[in-house]
């Protein structure tokens, strides 16, 4: 039997830089990339479009089981509609963290996530990649950054996409989202016990990528 393809799990709070780092690490190793937050955002987008309430766990789980997103060349489509930019809106991020509290929703999205584990390997980013979805990941990284650094990054991202943004409101929103993600009982945001922790506040993207690649190269030492 051939061994399962290797997984690098990169978890951490919203706007900690996980997505950018994970994508670059995947590019550098020639691995596939899974943005698990996008799945929760897609579900939130679909639920809002269909008038499904974010506190209705069973109805949301049914929607989640039927999701068939198509990821292609950095874009994502749902039912033929390109929703790449729409799901990046702050209100969709907020709704994503509301739908993500339901255990049935998390269960319904498990297969979709695990199916992305293909040769030659996968870099997956999210909240519970190292703890729940890929507990056997060969490298687990928990990436953090100060609220100020994260609010600035999120502000830049939103402005670049042409969305309105305000740093103070974003900081409040990040704190509220951190609290909801860490206090929920289903897969709360917390580092895996065997995760390397890294605060990226004062680091350039290249430095963080280099550190993760170095940990990956040395994964069998020690």
Check residue 85 and report its DSSP letter: T
> How far is residue 180 from each of residues 25, 154, 186, measured CA to CA in Å?
28, 18, 11
Q: Return residues touching ligand C5P (CB under 6 A).
A: 14, 36-37, 40-41, 93, 96-97, 100, 126-128, 177, 181
Check residue 131 and report its DSSP letter: I
Contact (Cβ atoms closer than 8 angstroms) between residue 127 and residue 101: no
Nearer to ligand C5P, 6 or 35 (CB): 35
Task: Report, in Å, the least distance between residue 221 CB and ligand C5P.
Answer: 28
**How many other β-carbons are positioned within 10 Å of the β-carbon of residue 56?**
14
Which alpha helices (DSSP H) does the chain contain, by range? 18-29, 36-50, 57-66, 90-99, 103-114, 147-160, 167-183, 205-217
Nearer to ligand C5P, 97 or 211 (CB): 97
Task: Report, in Å, the least distance between residue 88 CB and ligand C5P.
Answer: 8
Nearer to ligand C5P, 26 or 100 (CB): 100
Nearer to ligand C5P, 111 or 220 (CB): 111
Nearer to ligand C5P, 6 or 13 (CB): 13
Q: Which residues pair with 142 in a beta bridge?
A: 11, 197
CA distance 10 to 18: 6
Nearer to ligand C5P, 6 or 93 (CB): 93
Task: Report, in Å, the least distance between residue 97 CB and ligand C5P.
Answer: 3
Task: Report, in Å, the least distance between residue 2 CB and ligand C5P.
Answer: 27
- Within 13 Å, how many C-alpha atoms sit on residue 5's CB side? 18
Task: Report, in Å, the least distance between residue 1 CB and ligand C5P.
Answer: 28
Task: Report, in Å, the least distance between residue 66 CB and ligand C5P.
Answer: 19
């Amino acid at each position: 039997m051939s061994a399962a393809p290797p997984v690098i799990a990169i978890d951490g709070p919203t706007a900690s830089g996980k997505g950018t780092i994970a994508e670059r690490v995947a590019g550098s190793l020639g691995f596939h990339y899974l943005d698990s937050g996008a799945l929760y955002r897609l579900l939130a987008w679909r639920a809002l479009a269909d008038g499904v309430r974010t506190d209705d766990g069973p109805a949301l789980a049914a929607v989640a089981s039927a999701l068939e997103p198509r990821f292609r060349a950095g874009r994502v489509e749902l039912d033929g509609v390109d929703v790449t930019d729409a799901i990046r809106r702050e209100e969709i991020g907020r709704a994503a963290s509301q739908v993500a509290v339901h255990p049935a929703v998390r269960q319904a999205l498990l297969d979709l996530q695990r199916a992305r584990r293909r040769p030659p390997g996968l870099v997956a980013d999210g909240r519970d990649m190292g703890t729940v979805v890929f507990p056997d990941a060969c490298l687990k990284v928990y990436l953090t950054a100060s609220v100020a650094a994260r609010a600035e990054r999120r502000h830049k991202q939103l402005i670049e996409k042409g969305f309105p943004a305000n740093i103070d409101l974003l900081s409040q929103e990040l704190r509220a989202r951190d609290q909801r993600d860490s206090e929920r009982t289903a897969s709360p945001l917390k580092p895996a016990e065997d995760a390397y922790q890294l605060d990226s506040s004062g680091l350039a993207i290249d430095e963080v990528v280099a550190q993760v690649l170095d940990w990956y190269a040395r994964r069998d030492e020690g």
